Amino acid sequence: MLQQRILNLLAVLGVDVTSRLNTWDHLSVDTTQPLHDWKTGAGFGNASVRYREVPSHICELEPGVKSYSGYVDISEHEHIFFWFFEARNAEPENSPLTAWISGGPGDSAMAELFTEHGPCRVDPDEKTIHYNPFSWNNYSNMLYIDQPVQVGFSYSELVSAYMDGESEEIVELEDGAPCPEYAEICGNFSKPDPSATSNSTAAAAPNFWITLQAFMATFPQYSSHGFHFGSESYGGHYVPVFSQYILDQNDKNIAHARRIDLASILVGNGWFSPRLHLASDYDFAFNSGNPYDLENLDDSVRTKVHDNYYGKGNCLDQLKACEATGSDAVCQAADQFCLENVQDPFIVALERDINDVREMVPSPFPGDFYAEYLQRPEVRQAIGAYQTYIELNPTVGIAFDSTGDDARDLDIIHILGNLLDKGVRVTLYAGDADYECNWLGVEAVADAVGARGFDEAGYTNITTPDQVTHGQVKQSSGFSFVRVFEAGHATGAFQPFLLQTIFARTVAGTDLATGNRQANAYYQSQGPQRSTYREGNATVQDHVWPGTSTYNLTSNTPTLDNFQPSNFQVLKNAEYSYEDHYYHYVLLFFWVFLASDMAFNLSFLGNYTVVGGGAPGNASIFVVVPPSTHRKVVRDWMVIVCAVVTTVVTTGGAIRRTWNRWYGGKGAEVDKPPAA
């Protein structure tokens, strides 16, 4: 499917796809007995819950913020893994709950947890974590779920097996057999049986709903203030279909089932409509649709690809036949023909990354340092993981491929419209350097939904507190499409600040452009009907970067530097800064010194928070004792100084926050270059 095809493309280009995990020895996790220290939850129906509190040093470094991991045991061979994080900046019991799943099909949600919007990131040394200030749990309780069964840490029947580096398939080992030298990784995997997992989007929906029901029954304190749902890539299939299933289950009033208050959905670079996405591939490749000024291929290739899509009996006709017949064989054949003959030629000819056209192949972004981190025995023990971790489970891809699910329309555009009619806010976003599920295709999907007032709305810059224009939005009421500048398929890995911003505003129900207005039935963004800004080729790379490279969020380019404060935004007056927290301590110390009637010459240094470098910065206070003869004079002056400082800090902070809410971050005009 989508992610498996990346491996196939790399092989076509002659790129070595052997994982850096190939030195990992056979893992000795007991697959028959439960790990110790499990707590049990209420569960739902026949589904039970096992969970444990995860130590803070494993990922969430914010003091006092709890996280839990565990399994929803749906049946003997269906065990769904979850990892939950409390909200950071509000009482978790009064915060909404957001569930995130990954795409693929077969991709693990751990990828987005560690490379996009989870509480921590993993350094290139593959063992050190650092604090992620762009985490979505700043604004919501976050629940990451590996689904369907066999994805990530979710498992069916565990066996000793290995990943074959050539076929990229899981191969079961005979009892007592050693790990082959040519294996990519050996360990405990779900038995590679496609019939033991879901084989379509519709088939995966019930277990996802059961997982939510079981989690909410076990943790009701985190589940009472609205539910939000996000994904990316194949999430364009998952999220609409799963969301409709949730609403349908709500309508049934099932005994003992919790009504899930679905408030919003977010999908990044989603695969919604095969017809629209494959047509957009041609536009992106040959009609100046890519904004990075990549070289155009010759007319013969253009003509061939055009015919491969629109010609009689070719891609478009095959997709129509898939929809008309519903045949697994017809849909599977259509999927294979369209991807190989319409999507692939542009990328293969240019030798560029299908998920980020700025990069040559193989691209190191987003980094997979976290995968080795999750193989560490102490980490797996801490989260209670049974299965050896791989980001993409090929068996799930094989199962979905057998039904041609990728080529099916699934009435998704109609479902998106129905969700809006039911009051569910819908945010679609796309990094504009992605080719596989490119922004033109997602924009076409947004247009096709037919949301009221969307055609009349216009593109406007998104205001963020760092004063940089990271993208543009077109929004009508609760329906939004966001074009994200300088970002590939995994959008949050490249523009985490913008993604955190649009997530927070979607959850809050405000306009995505500023966050200042409620996105009610009358709201429309103002600006041009189309986003025409072009980044140019300043960030386009002409050579392959090593796997240890990191991504500089300021220059939007690769770097060989480790994660350093200079690699992130410095927010002095941002609404996401912690500096007010330290101002309060400064005021407290001022008045404590005054009340003790001691004479001091006092000075202090307050460090602004450097976002991305680790835990919030500290404020240091230095105290010097003056001669006692100046005691009264200094005390009198201290009264004045304390009063002035209190007034300035209190009123100044209020003014600053108000200014940021009303005017902060107004970038360049629409279609002008973003601020440097």
> Counting beta carbons within 10 angstroms of the beta carbon of residue 627, is it exposed (0 to 12), middle (13 to 18) or buried (19 or more)?
exposed
Return the axis-axis angle of helices 412-421 and 439-449, rounded to nearest 10°: 60
Query: Got the DSSP string for 37-106?
Result: S-EEEEEETTEEEEEEEPPGGGS--STT--EEEEEEEEETTEEEEEEEE--SSS-GGGS-EEEE---TTT
CA atoms within 13 A of residue 260's CA, in its CB half-sphere: 31
How many angstroms separate the most distant Cα atoms in the chain?
Answer: 99
Q: Exactly one of 368, 409, 434, 466 is catalytic; which is it?
A: 434
Distance of alpha carbon 657 from alpha carbon 90, whole angstroms: 18
Token pair, residue 28, equals 């000795």
Question: Quick check: 231 and 100 in contact, CB under 8 A?
Answer: yes
Token pair, residue 657, equals 């926050």
> Counting beta carbons within 10 angstroms of the beta carbon of residue 571, is it exposed (0 to 12), middle (13 to 18) or buried (19 or more)?
buried
- In the residue annotation, 95 being an active-site residue is answered as no
Q: Exactly one of 233, 243, 477, 480 is catalytic; which is it?
A: 233
The total number of residues written for the chain in this structure: 676
Residue that the structure tokens 């002008």 belong to: 672
- In the residue annotation, 489 being an active-site residue is answered as yes
- Tell me whether strands 67-75 and 47-53 are parallel, antiparallel or unpaired: antiparallel
Distance of alpha carbon 264 from alpha carbon 192, whole angstroms: 35
CA atoms within 13 A of residue 253's CA, in its CB half-sphere: 0
Query: What's the distance, CA 300 to chain centroid?
Result: 38
Distance of alpha carbon 182 from alpha carbon 573, whole angstroms: 53
Q: Exactly one of 280, 480, 489, 531 is catalytic; which is it?
A: 489
Residue that the structure tokens 């070289």 belong to: 295
Distance of alpha carbon 28 from alpha carbon 31, whole angstroms: 9
- In the residue annotation, 108 being an active-site residue is answered as no
Q: Which residues are catalytic?
A: 233, 434, 489
